[in-house]
């Protein structure tokens, strides 16, 4: 029997064990705009907004998709309601009601700017992935990036998130409206200041006075977000239908663990964040560095080594004991020495908790999804730990192994004539096709990619030698060094 779709009109029919919005949606106001309404946003920031709305009606979300209208088209018939499933035993579903609307920027640009200009819009958040910031290898805005070059000529008809933020702030400044707070929720080192620098650099190209105003008046707090969010699949859709009693075209799922840390600056004290589990911290860098280097860094190693060894999910890869041993040694011996404890944060306990999360069989986190956009992820997930270890004279062989696994992954995709999800896909696939399985030749080609590998690191003999040795030992099938099989 075909089930009725989830919507405002059918919400009362949701089964009793499913949590529903405990507020009147029609009474809520949009005070929050978000760029990038993908699965992570809907499982993370929108979840916190849903809880805020139980206390304060100002935090309904206007979500903006920069490219695809798929999420809008799936959720519009559902009045933007959807289910969140936590991947834990006996965890109930939760219907999220925080999304007021989903706008698709290319076709609804005036509506996007109306939200950005509105005095009621107090908070703008982003989950657009690393590549959405259009940064160069030096971490600064790439003015030659096609989207940035277009937006600098566009006179308001912008396409990039940097363009939208700058134009939205320009319009508020021109009208005498106070700026919104801009909160990056992407895995960038020092994400708030990095985003501030990109926006001010863009603004300076068009109006230096605007750039100075942004620099002085707009708050870009540092943040850290964390929760493993596997992609929606047919099993999830079937589970949600069975447990909810209604059809949901695009539910989302995540592990039970979720964390959001925001730099405690006056501008962010707009809501009762602590009441919904958000941490306000004076020093976010401790959390941010740990998440990037421990969770994300280990994920990247698992993705590339796991795929080479025939695995499909994180939990499956963690059942491969030699591979799990590799990951644990990476974290405990090479990453942990570059981290520091602070307050209640303890490095060893964080690593142990991370390994436990990875072993959770309920979380089917696809390695292929984690492997996306390696050219943007590796410079922030692995290279900082490696550079610090090398400078301090510490071991870095497992970090080099993770990089070599990525290179082998690219070569494999190129030889199989497969697709590669990466902003550098065309260049990487051409490089992969030119590889000969001679470590020095192949590794030299990859290390010449200055957008990924800083020249001072790529020229270091110890680094080149370690990566080449790991590349040789891995072969095409992800064979691990003898010591890892012991």
Question: What pLDDT shows up at residue 315?
Answer: 95
Distances (CA, A) of 407 to 231, 404, 428, 429, 444: 25, 5, 9, 11, 11
Strand order in the sheet with 279-281: 223-226, 259-263, 279-281
Going by pLDDT thresholds of 50, 70 and 90, the confidence category of residue 343 is low
Domain boundaries, the chain: 11-281, 285-485
Q: Tell me what pLDDT residue 482 has.
A: 54
Rounded Cα distance between 225 and 150, Å, is 31
Report the topology of domain 11-281. Answer: Rossmann fold (3.40.50)
Structure tokens at 436: 């000969």
Whether residue 263 is predicted with pLDDT greater than 70 in this model: the reply is yes
pLDDT at 484 over 60: no
Has residue 254 got a pLDDT over 70? yes
Average pLDDT over residues 43-53: 98
3-state secondary structure of 182: strand
- C-beta separation of 371 from 311 below 8 A: no
Percent of the chain with pLDDT over 90: 88
Percent of the chain with pLDDT over 70: 98
Average pLDDT in the 36-41 region? 98
Residues 252-272 have a mean pLDDT of 95
Q: What is the mean pLDDT of residues 457-462?
A: 96
From CA 300, how far away is CA 239, in angstroms rounded?
29
Cβ neighbours of 174 (radius 10 Å): 10
Q: Report how far apart, in Å, the C-alpha atoms of 15 and of each of 53, 97, 239 are.
A: 22, 16, 13
Q: Two tokens at 216?
A: 């002085």
Residue-wise pLDDT tens digits, 132-153: 999 997 889 999 999 999 999 9
Q: What integer pLDDT is reported at residue 193 of this predicted model?
A: 96
Average pLDDT over residues 460-471: 97
pLDDT single digits (tens) 200-242: 999 999 999 999 999 999 999 999 999 999 889 999 999 999 9
Whether the pLDDT of residue 486 is over 50: the answer is: no
pLDDT band at 89 (very low <50, low <70, confident <90, very high): confident
Query: What are the start-end ranges of the E strands in 373-448?
Result: none
Q: CATH code for 285-485? A: 1.10.1040.10
Q: List the beta bridge partners of residue 61.
A: 32, 99
- Whether residue 485 is predicted with pLDDT greater than 60 in this model: the reply is no
Mean predicted confidence (pLDDT) in 460-465: 96
CA atoms within 13 A on the CB side of 78: 25
> pTM score, two decimals?
0.81
Q: Say if 11-281 and 285-485 have the same CATH topology.
A: no
pLDDT above 80 for 1: no
Higher pLDDT: 431 or 476? It is 431
Rg of the Cα atoms in the chain: 23
What does the pLDDT look like over 151-177, one tens digit per residue? 999 888 999 999 999 999 999 999 999
Distances in Å between the Cα of 375 and the Cα atoms of 121, 136, 294, 415 are 34, 11, 18, 19
Distance from C-alpha of 410 to C-alpha of 425, rounded to nearest angstrom:
9
Cβ atoms within 10 Å of 231's Cβ, excluding its own: 14
> Phi and psi (nearest 5°) for 432?
-60, -40
Round to whole Å and give the CA distance between 434 and 337. 37
Mean pLDDT for 248-274 is: 95
If you average pLDDT over residues 345-369, what whole number do you get? 92
Q: Tell me what the pLDDT averaged over the chain comes to.
A: 95
Whether the predicted pLDDT of 437 surpasses 90:
yes
Give residue 479's pLDDT: 85
């Amino acid at each position: 029997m075909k089930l009725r779709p989830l919507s405002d009109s059918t919400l009362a029919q949701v089964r009793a064990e499913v949590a529903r919005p405990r507020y009147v949606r029609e009474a809520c106001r949009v005070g929050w705009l978000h760029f990038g309404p993908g699965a992570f946003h809907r499982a993370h920031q929108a979840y916190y907004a849903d809880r805020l709305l139980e206390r304060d009606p100002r935090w309904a979300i206007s979500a903006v998709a920069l490219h695809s209208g798929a999420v809008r088209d799936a959720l519009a018939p559902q009045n933007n309601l959807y289910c969140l499933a936590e991947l834990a035993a006996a965890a109930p579903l939760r219907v999220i009601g925080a999304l007021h609307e989903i706008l698709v920027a290319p076709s609804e640009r005036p509506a996007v700017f109306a939200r950005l200009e509105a005095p009621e819009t107090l908070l703008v958040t982003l989950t657009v992935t690393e590549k959405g910031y259009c940064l160069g290898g030096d971490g600064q805005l790439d003015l030659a990036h096609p989207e940035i070059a277009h937006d600098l000529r566009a006179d308001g008809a912008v396409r990039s998130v940097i363009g939208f933020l700058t134009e939205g702030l320009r319009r508020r400044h021109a009208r005498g409206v106070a700026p919104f707070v801009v909160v990056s929720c992407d895995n960038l080192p020092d994400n708030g200041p990095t985003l501030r620098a990109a926006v001010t650099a863009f603004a300076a190209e068009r109006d230096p006075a605007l750039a100075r105003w942004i620099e002085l008046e707009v708050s870009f707090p540092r943040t850290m977000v964390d929760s493993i969010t596997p992609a929606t699949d047919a099993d999830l859709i079937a589970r949600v239908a069975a447990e909810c009693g209604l059809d949901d075209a695009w539910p989302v799922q995540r592990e039970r663990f979720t964390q959001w840390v925001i730099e405690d600056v006056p501008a962010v004290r707009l809501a009762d964040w602590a009441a919904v589990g958000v941490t306000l911290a004076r020093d976010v860098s401790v959390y941010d560095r740990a998440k990037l280097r421990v969770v994300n860094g280990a994920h990247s190693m698992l993705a590339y080594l796991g795929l080479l060894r025939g695995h499909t999910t994180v939990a499956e890869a963690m059942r491969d004991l030699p591979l799990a041993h590799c990951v644990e040694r990476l974290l405990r011996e090479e990453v942990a020495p570059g981290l520091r404890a602070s307050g209640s944060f303890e490095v060893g306990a964080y690593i142990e908790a991370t390994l436990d999360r990875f072993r959770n069989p309920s979380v089917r986190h696809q390695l292929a999804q984690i492997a996306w956009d390696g050219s943007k992820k590796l410079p922030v997930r692995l290279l900082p730990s490696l550079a610090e270890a090398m400078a301090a004279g510490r071991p870095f062989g497992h970090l080099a192994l993770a990089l070599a696994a990525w290179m082998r992954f690219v070569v494999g995709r190129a030889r199989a004539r497969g697709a590669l999800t990466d902003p550098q896909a065309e260049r990487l696939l051409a490089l992969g096709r030119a590889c000969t399985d001679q470590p020095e030749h192949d590794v030299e080609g990859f290390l010449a990619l200055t957008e990924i590998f800083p020249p001072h690191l790529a020229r270091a003999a110890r680094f080149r030698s370690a990566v080449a040795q790991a590349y040789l030992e891995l072969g095409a099938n992800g064979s691990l060094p003898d010591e890892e099989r012991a």
